[in-house]
Amino acid sequence: MVWRMTRAELKTRILTWLRQNAIPLAVLVFLVGCFLVTSFRKRSEGPQTGAIHVESVPSRAEVSIDGRLWGTAPLTIEDVAYGEHVLRFEKHGHEPVSRAVTVSEKEQTVRSTLKPIVTTVLRVESEPSGAAVRVGGEEVGWTPVVLEGVTPGRYEILVRKDGYKLFQKWISLSQGETRVLPCTLESKTEAVLEARAQESEASVRQLVELAHHHILSNDFGRAAPPLARALEMTAGSGEKNRWVFEEIEKPYWGRYEYGGAEAKMRCREMLEDVLIAEVKARPSHQVARNLLVELLRKAGRWERLAEAMEAGVIPIETASPRELGLYGEVMVQVGRADEVLDKMVRKHRRNRDCWELTYAIGLVHQQNGEKVKARIKFKQALLHCHSDEARARIQATLEGL
């Protein structure tokens, strides 16, 4: 039999349930009402964004909000969400300014003043100009030179130019100071240089300075004797060797102008002749030999290098594996590799870890069209080579097969 509830019983049950849950129902009705009221107000008030009109002194400062660049002042930024934001002003030569801004209105104006950055400036001038300037032990350029943003402090200023005495002075720079340092360089006359070079105790530096004086005048015939004497004096002294060879490289590699392409060619030939004569006179002068090989290789003068080697620059019969490898590479360049291949192979059997020799043999195989043998030698050379520059050269040759 299906039980049926009368209308009176249903009404009674509903009233009982309402009395038991009156408080939760009241809270629920309150929360729903608050939600509806808030939604209605937001809908009636519209979107919660405003606009900021930005101005800066000086003008044209870059303006960003929360890290996003908007443009340069003055400008008006619209659709900025209500709430707190970080407004930043930046302009070259001025200290940046950051401000916290609370957007709570339809439009508001923000003005900011930027302070100029106080910098220390040093300008070095010389007569004549074109002198190298060193400030605090660091090369900074050639006169006239202007240095901005220098840290205040005490500095040693060195001004150097070939043919002139070194200018040296200590100066102190203060915050915000602009200092102009003029200097007149005292010329080293040719007569003074010649007199010093003729002295029995003339130094290597004096001889090289005299050679440079003649090179600057494109008088390479007169430059050769003091360079040759300087090389003779440096034989056996590693420290002097390194200095004098760096000085000798100056005119050849064009660190300063001295007369155009023709003069550069004549200067190069003079340097090569001097170095060849020195190596022939003193075969143990290893640094002179290395410089000669470097000059000829970088210039691509393979025929001259081959002649110099055959004339005794590298004695083939007693050459080290590395020297024999260099000789083999040169002979490949001049198309005479077969003349030295047998000697290189015999030396390589006892010195398989010499990558220069292995590489040279690979070049011979490459020139003879034996690509498989060449590839094997190049890979063997890579295994024993630890110079990044040399490895790049070997890898490029290997990829070119």
Q: Which long-range contacts (CB under 8 A, 24 or more apart) does 145-149 make?
A: 146/121, 146/122, 147/121, 147/122, 147/123, 148/119, 148/121, 149/119, 149/120
State the pLDDT at residue 238.
58
pLDDT tens digits, one per residue of 172-212: 888 888 899 998 887 776 666 676 666 666 677 788 888 88
Assign domain 121-184 one CATH number from 2.40.160.10, 3.90.660.10, 2.60.40.1120, 3.40.309.10: 2.60.40.1120
pLDDT score recorded for residue 125: 92
Residue 44 has pLDDT above 60, yes or no: no
Q: Which residue has the higher pLDDT, 279 or 11?
A: 279
Q: What is the CATH number of domain 49-113?
A: 2.60.40.1120
DSSP 192-211: HHHHHHHSTT--HHHHHHHH
| Residue range 110-163, pLDDT digits in tens | 888 988 877 789 999 988 888 899 998 888 888 899 988 888 888 999 998 877
Q: Is this model's pTM higher than 0.75 or not?
A: no
Q: How confident is the model at residue 2 (pLDDT cuts 50, 70, 90)?
A: very low
Helix (H) or strand (E) holding 187: none
Note the pLDDT tens digit of each residue in 350-371.
888 888 888 888 898 888 889 8
41-55, 191-205, 266-280, 310-324: which has the highest mean pLDDT? 266-280
Residue of 331, 249, 253, 345 whose CA lies nearest to 290: 249
Query: What mean pLDDT is reported for the chain?
Result: 81
Q: Looking at domain 318-401, which of 2.40.30.210, 1.10.274.10, 3.90.1170.50, 1.25.40.10 is its CATH number?
A: 1.25.40.10
Residue 13 has pLDDT above 70, yes or no: yes
pLDDT single digits (tens) 87-108: 999 988 788 999 898 888 777 8
Pairing of strands 121-127, 178-184: parallel
From 159, 171, 95, select the one nearest 128 (Cα to Cα): 159
pLDDT digits (tens, 9 = 90+) for 30-40: 788 777 777 66
In this predicted structure, the answer to whether residue 85 has a pLDDT above a threshold of 70 is yes
Helices in 200-337 by DSSP H: which ranges?
A: 204-216, 220-234, 238-252, 260-281, 286-299, 302-308, 321-333
